Structure 1
Amino acid sequence: MDFIDKAFENKLKAEMLDLTRAPLVSVVIPMYNAAKYLPACLNSVLEQSYRNLEIICVDDGSPDNCADIVNSYDDNRIVLVKQNNRGLAGARNTGIRWAKGDFVALLDADDTWFPKKIEIHVSHLRANPDIGISYSGSQFIDEAGTDMKIGQYPKHKNISADDIFCRNPVGNGSAPVLRKAVFSEIAFFSPEHGHADAMYFDESFRQSEDVECWLRIALSTKWKFEGVNEVLTYYRVNGGGLSANWQKQLAAWERSVEKNRQIDPDFVAKWESLARAYQYRYLARRAIQSRDASSARMLTLLAFKSNSSIIVKDFSRSAITATCAILLSILSTPQYEALERQAMGIPA
């Protein structure tokens, strides 16, 4: 019995020693009207195989009970920060400023992670000191948390600035884990937003704030982007308003282009038409998801008109987008959805 107790004690000491040697990871979770999904989000962090975490939950003036949910957890790694509503960029900025870790992992409150996500990203970053942004593929889930059988499986090696501009391989705001040093390098101040704190994401953006930030990092620093060739994030696709906001999404993307044009005008001039084609196609796919046939058709045509080489560079996805836009226009919604389920192998 004593032998068993001693072995357990030694194992525990070894685990504690390993924990103290492991770099601290700061998980930043912005919260606004996310109470419905927040427990699953938090549980996915607490269940990570990598344990040396701090979890910074930023209540961005949320009108629901997000703060109460956070306070119901008995885990001293969780920190609750409250602020007046400043949007997703403002909530992320606050969380990053609070972060004490060597690495910062971003997680939106309606998304979740696979159990080994942080462990894999920490290993990736520690093995590659020139990489500043490590990201993963993502699996799409619907509002109920059901696997949609589709996802984002981006290019993960040899990432250049034009990859960031045209394709955004990072994919979504819950996929990347970054070195804190990257944020320190791109920090700026903008007192017109009502505070004197450092900003990393531009708080004047309410959409496309991550796209703008990634390209700014690519154009203004020497840090490399690289993904791990695994799906480690569950990204929730909310059904409401997917295409209703496509005009706002496009306007925000246009603003991000203009902002980064100031850093490297020759780069933007060279790649803008192709990047615009990919952006139109992305918005077309969002319109298809929300069954907006007219927007899907128009955006698909705009993509091909902006830069027709998108058809050759990514024939499969371009062809599928165009086909779906056409079918959505000529079939009833039930017919289209039945065909879509059949194509994805989902039982009726």
Structure 2
Amino acid sequence: MPDRAADEPLVSVVLATNRGGPFLAEALASVAAQTYSHVELLVVDDGSPDPTEIQGLVASAGLGTVLRLEPSGVSAARNAGVQRSRGDLLAFLDDDDRWHPDRLRLAVEALVGRPDAVIGYCAMRTIDPAGEQVVAADQRAARDARDVVRGRTGIMLPNLVMRRSAFDAVGGFDPAYRQGEDLDLVLAAATLGPFVFVDAVLVDYRYHPGNTTRAYRDLAAGIRVILRARRSLARSAGRTELDAAYRDRLRANDRFAAWSAARAARADLSDRRFGAAVGHVVWAARFAPTAPVDWARERVRRLVDRER
């Protein structure tokens, strides 16, 4: 990393993991390659079976401190990393993602230029296990908290940098959430101040197609719990302008659930697992019964918007 200016804010990068492997090595290398120099890296080993492998990978990267924990879950692990960190700015990297060398430098410049912003975020593409792009970046600037709530901005944990003061104000990650904990953090931060967008593709989010077919059910159910809880808090705080945005996001989550169930059912049908395919359809009908009608309505709305 290049020499830093004395007044550059320290960025604390927290990477929680419970495994080693080439993806982790690539993630660590992307931190080491940052063009922004005032960085500390805390790797939280969340009860991995081989801590020596993680320690070796961190040593090979040439930076970072390893904090070993008993298995605690990713939210608790990240919170522990933040507690040990010293930076005024916080960034979080998953163990299978990677950053462009200018990722932190541009985020810091954006946040320094917008002292009122609580989060800076950038464009992010999706890659496969081999590192090839499968989905192009589609993030956009958030006009206000309603855009963040509706999920139209594409903010996720790997592509944000957050002020430590904002992280502390919202209480960090909620350990009660095993799925969607990053969404909960972003929704909480949206009530504190504006977000600033860096319009450059600086993060690679790695998608694993080998995920279990039932994972979408847990994710959709977890997101619903978070959205309902945050909607209730917004109402209690008098943030009535966010109510419609939360309603839209809940409907979008139902569409996601139905679409995921349909995709899983098609995969099972192609493998002649008819009982499993029916199970996906039945689950979707119970979880999101109005999703097909809502999907058709949303499709028409988008077509009308394009013609205007």
**Sequence identity, in percent?**
25
Confirm or deny that 1:105 pairs with 2:91. yes
Question: Given the superposition, is the C-alpha separation of residues 270 and 71 from structure 1 closer, same or farther in structure 2, using an over 3 Å criterion?
Answer: closer
Confirm or deny that 1:68 pairs with 2:55. yes
Name 1:273's counterpart in structure 2: 247
* Post-superposition offset of 1:203: 0.5
Letter in 1 for 2:32: L
Hey, what's the Cα distance between the residues in 1 that align with 2:146 and 2:10?
32
Name 1:338's counterpart in structure 2: none
Name 2:159's counterpart in structure 1: 175
Question: In the TM superposition, what whole-angstrom CA distance separates every residue of 1:229-271 from its partner, at most 9, and x where no partner exists?
Answer: 1111000001122542111111111210232133123456433
Letter in 2 for 1:203: P
Q: Are 1:26 and 1:104, in contact at CA under 8 Å, matched by a contact in 2?
A: yes
Hey, what's the Cα distance between the residues in 1 that align with 2:132 and 2:103?
20
Hey, what's the Cα distance between the residues in 2 that align with 1:260 and 1:246?
21
Q: Are 2:28 and 2:61, in contact at CA under 8 Å, matched by a contact in 1?
A: no
Hey, what's the Cα distance between the residues in 2 that align with 1:182 and 1:44?
26
Aligned with residue 220 of structure 2, among 250, 271, 277: 250
Hey, what's the Cα distance between the residues in 1 that align with 2:205 and 2:213?
18
Q: Are 2:55 and 2:66, in contact at CA under 8 Å, matched by a contact in 1?
A: no
Confirm or deny that 1:123 pairs with 2:109. yes
Hey, what's the Cα distance between the residues in 1 that align with 2:197 and 2:213?
28
CA RMSD of aligned residues (A): 2.8
* Post-superposition offset of 1:84: 1.3
Question: Given the superposition, is the C-alpha separation of residues 43 and 182 from structure 1 closer, same or farther in structure 2, using an over 3 Å criterion?
Answer: same
Aligned with residue 35 of structure 1, among 12, 21, 35: 21
Hey, what's the Cα distance between the residues in 2 that align with 1:288 and 1:120?
40
Confirm or deny that 1:208 pairs with 2:180. yes
Name 1:47's counterpart in structure 2: 33
Unaligned 5+ residue runs, structure 1?
A: 1-14, 188-199, 317-348
Hey, what's the Cα distance between the residues in 2 that align with 1:230 and 1:287?
33
Unaligned 5+ residue runs, structure 2?
A: 268-276
* Post-superposition offset of 1:132: 0.9
* Post-superposition offset of 1:217: 1.8
Relative to the length of structure 2, the TM-score reads 0.82
Aligned with residue 210 of structure 2, among 235, 240, 262: 240
Hey, what's the Cα distance between the residues in 2 that align with 1:73 and 1:21?
29
The alignment covers a number of residue pairs equal to 284
Hey, what's the Cα distance between the residues in 1 that align with 2:263 and 2:104?
30
Letter in 1 for 2:187: L
Moved more, 91-100 or 268-277: 268-277
Confirm or deny that 1:310 pairs with 2:301. no
Hey, what's the Cα distance between the residues in 1 that align with 2:183 and 2:249?
12
Q: Are 2:12 and 2:87, in contact at CA under 8 Å, matched by a contact in 1?
A: yes
Hey, what's the Cα distance between the residues in 2 that align with 1:23 and 1:296?
51
Hey, what's the Cα distance between the residues in 1 that align with 2:260 and 2:56?
31
Hey, what's the Cα distance between the residues in 2 that align with 1:206 and 1:170?
20
Hey, what's the Cα distance between the residues in 1 that align with 2:260 and 2:108?
32
Question: Given the superposition, is the C-alpha separation of residues 44 and 57 from structure 1 closer, same or farther in structure 2, using an over 3 Å criterion?
Answer: same
Output aligned runs, 1:54-93, within 5 Å: 54-65=40-51, 66-73=53-60, 75=62, 77-93=63-79
